[in-house]
Amino acid sequence: MGDKIRVALAPGDGIGPEISEACLRVFEAAEVMDSVEFVPVEMGSAVFAKGDTRGMTDEAIETIEETGLLYKGPMGTPIGGGGKSINVTLRKTFGTFANLRHFQSLPGVDTVFTRAGVPVDIYVVRENIEDTYGGIEHRLTPDVVECKRLISAPGCDQVHRFAFKTAQSLGITKVHCAHKANIMKMTDGMFLERFHHAAKDHPLIETQDVIIDALCMNLVLRPQEYRMVVLPNLQGDIVSDLAAGLVGGLGFAPSANIGDQISIFEAVHGTAPDIAGKGIANPTSLLLSGLIMLRHLGIFRRAVRIENALLATLEEHIHTGDVKDGAEPVGTMAFAEAIIERLGKSPTGFEARRVPEERSPTYTPPTRPTVNRLMRTFETCKSMVCGCDMYIDTMLPVLDLAKRLERLAEGTPFKLTMISNRGTQVWPSGSPYTEIVDYFRVRFELRDAAFLGAIGQMPTIHLLTKIAEKFEIADFQLLKMYDGERGFSLAQGQ
């Protein structure tokens, strides 16, 4: 065999080093180290403590970019200060656009569904880069803050292609797209539309969409009806934790963050500082994440041997203290040693994984790009300016505000067509029962449709200048038509 595959290793914080050591011990016993070399990197609390708000050193970044792989334990984010979540930073920095999690009933892990004889075996594919997790937030007025939600067609295409490709490789014949397109018609609407577009390349896979709140209810009532669900970022985060609850908790939920060049395999549970150093933490989540990593590398046989040994161990009621079944719990390393003792064995009352023939690893490290890749889906889309929305910080009554704005728009190509507050129209029609705050959206649209396509953005900037002389502008947004369709939403009640 040629050179070993190098994998950046970050043990993590709290219980991270303990469960990482346990997993590496299992890997070593299963001869994974014949093919893989783990390269320790420094990131997490120790780096934050030195004042680096990234939470990772330059050397760690370089190693991850060279190897294209990171295996990491749980990491904490400091409370206060400038440090953001290192987990989110890693996923976004390295373009790991798809978060894959597998939730399955495990032998010896008692849940409501195992007692009822209802099997749970669900893959959740979560878009990992966009949505509100962009963390783009502003305070717009004394009373109003904003979080900007960004959904892009290329981002949707990436995660949907991954979901269908993964479903095909796993033999999954039905994929659900969860969304809230009934309310967020443009953002979730695009996510859903691109799902149906990607589905055209996989005609043998059945597709269905489900509104996110209905999905959450159905997962609790009938989890066996779902095999794979693909979701936007925030919704996927919430559903992933819900699904973990179906199978015993985050301690049994593996996670992989997959990109075109770099992938991250991690435990998604917390650092559990209250039990750190006691040697009682459960390494199952991190071990299962490592098995997804081995399969990603093409090391299938050893991955299956470890998984069957894990299943056999749990089936014999050997487990850490977070599993409550009346059996005496064992410590972290004792659990790892129990798995090692069962390498080559399979569970008897639970379906074992089929052990494939030995094959050489298939992974190739990435070639570092020289520039950021610019993605584009709609190459020939034609856009035309048709107006603008301005967001005004004011305490004026609505009718007074409208009269002043109408006067200011005189002599311009635009007329005031709508005022809304917190998304609900309050002018030219509305209800006096609609409670309002100090943040108004005022919409100006072309007086004459003949100007559509004949003017650009500068007339809206001139109008903005006139309005800004009289009012405090909190935000500004162009209104455009895209290929003849409105590129902006109506207000509620409009």
What pLDDT is stored for residue 303 in this prediction?
A: 96
| 479 in Cβ contact with 387 (< 8 Å) | yes
What pLDDT is stored for residue 79 in this prediction?
A: 66
Distances (CA, A) of 306 to 164, 166, 430: 27, 21, 64
Q: For residue range 250-287, list pLDDT tens digits in order.
A: 999 999 999 999 999 999 899 999 999 999 999 999 99
| 437 in Cβ contact with 396 (< 8 Å) | no
Q: Are strands 383-393 and 439-446 parallel, antiparallel or unpaired?
A: antiparallel
CA separation for the pair 98, 61 (Å, rounded): 20
Query: Which of the residues in the chain have pLDDT under 50?
Result: 1
Q: Residue 236 half-sphere exposure, CB side, CA atoms within 13 Å?
A: 31
Amino acid identity of residue 306, one-letter, is I
The structural domains of the chain, ordered by start, are 5-341 (3.40.718.10), 383-486 (3.30.70.1570)
| 156 in Cβ contact with 191 (< 8 Å) | yes
What pLDDT is stored for residue 360 in this prediction?
A: 87
How many Cβ atoms from other residues are within 10 Å of residue 299's Cβ? 26
Give the SS3 label for residue 481: strand
What pLDDT is stored for residue 126 in this prediction?
A: 98
CB contact set of 484 (below 8 Å; sequence gap of 6+): none
Q: For residue range 416-428, list pLDDT tens digits in order.
A: 999 999 999 999 9
Q: Is the peptide bond before 361 cis (omega within 30 degrees of 0)?
A: no
Q: Are strands 5-10 and 36-40 parallel, antiparallel or unpaired?
A: parallel
What pLDDT is stored for residue 308 in this prediction?
A: 97
User: To 10 degrees, what angle do helices 332-341 and 16-29 make?
Assistant: 10
Range list of H helices, 332-397 = 332-341
Amino acid identity of residue 33, one-letter, is M
Give the SS3 label for residue 144: coil
| 65 in Cβ contact with 83 (< 8 Å) | no
Amino acid identity of residue 369, one-letter, is P
| 308 in Cβ contact with 28 (< 8 Å) | no
| 319 in Cβ contact with 378 (< 8 Å) | no
The DSSP element (H or E) to which 252 belongs, if any, is none
What pLDDT is stored for residue 1 in this prediction?
A: 44
Sheet containing 263-267: which strands, arranged edge to edge? Answer: 36-40, 5-10, 69-72, 263-267, 254-258, 98-104, 121-127, 228-231, 174-179, 206-211
